[in-house]
Amino acid sequence: MAIALRKKAEIDTLRRAGAIVGQTLEYLRGIIKPGMSLKEIDALGEEFIVKAGAKPSFKGLYGFPASVCTSVNEVIIHGIPTDYKLKEGDIIGLDIGTIVDGYYGDAAITMGVGEISEQDSKLIECSKDALYKAIEAIKPGMRFKELSYVLQEAITGAGYVPLRDFCGHGIGKKPHDEPNIPNYVEGKIKQGPKIKNGMVFCIEPMVCQKEGEPIILEDGWSVISSDRMRTSHYEHQVAVVDGRAVILTNP
Assess if residue 74 is contained within a domain.
Answer: yes
d(CA 120, CA 136) in angstroms, rounded, equals 25
Assess if residue 209 is contained within a domain.
Answer: yes
pLDDT at 1 (0 to 100): 62
Q: Is 93 helix (H, G, I), strand (E, B) or coil?
A: strand
Question: Percent helix, strand and coil across the chain, each rounded to 5?
Answer: 30, 30, 40
pLDDT at 215 (0 to 100): 98
In degrees, rounded to 5, the angle at the alpha carbon of residue 207 between the alpha carbons of residues 186 and 82 is: 125
Residue 32 near residue 41 (C-beta atoms within 8 A): yes
How many domains is the chain built from? 1
pLDDT band at 46 (very low <50, low <70, confident <90, very high): very high
Q: Is the pLDDT of residue 2 over 90?
A: no
CATH of the domain at 239: 3.90.230.10
Assess if residue 206 is contained within a domain.
Answer: yes
Assess if residue 3 is contained within a domain.
Answer: no
Percent of the chain beyond pLDDT 70?
100
How does the average pLDDT of the chain come out, rounded? 97
In degrees, rounded to 5, the angle at the alpha carbon of residue 205 between the alpha carbons of residues 86 and 19 is: 75
Assess if residue 249 is contained within a domain.
Answer: no
Assess if residue 196 is contained within a domain.
Answer: yes
Residue 51's domain comprises 8-243
pLDDT at 140 (0 to 100): 98
Mean pLDDT along residues 208-215:
98
* pLDDT tens column, 98-129: 999 999 999 999 999 999 999 999 999 999 99
pLDDT at 94 (0 to 100): 98
* pLDDT tens column, 166-192: 999 999 999 999 999 999 998 889 899
Q: Is the pLDDT of residue 212 over 80?
A: yes
Q: Is the pLDDT of residue 206 over 70?
A: yes
Assess if residue 1 is contained within a domain.
Answer: no
* pLDDT tens column, 19-34: 999 999 999 999 999 9
d(CA 100, CA 103) in angstroms, rounded, equals 5
pLDDT at 188 (0 to 100): 87
In one letter, which amino acid is 141? G
d(CA 164, CA 160) in angstroms, rounded, equals 13
> How remote is the C-alpha of 130 from its chain's centroid?
12
Contacts of residue 87, defined as CB under 8 A and 6 or more positions apart, other chains included, come to 34, 113
In one letter, which amino acid is 121? S
Assess if residue 2 is contained within a domain.
Answer: no
pLDDT at 34 (0 to 100): 98
Q: What are the DSSP calls for 229-247, one per residue?
A: ---EE-BEEEEEETTEEEE
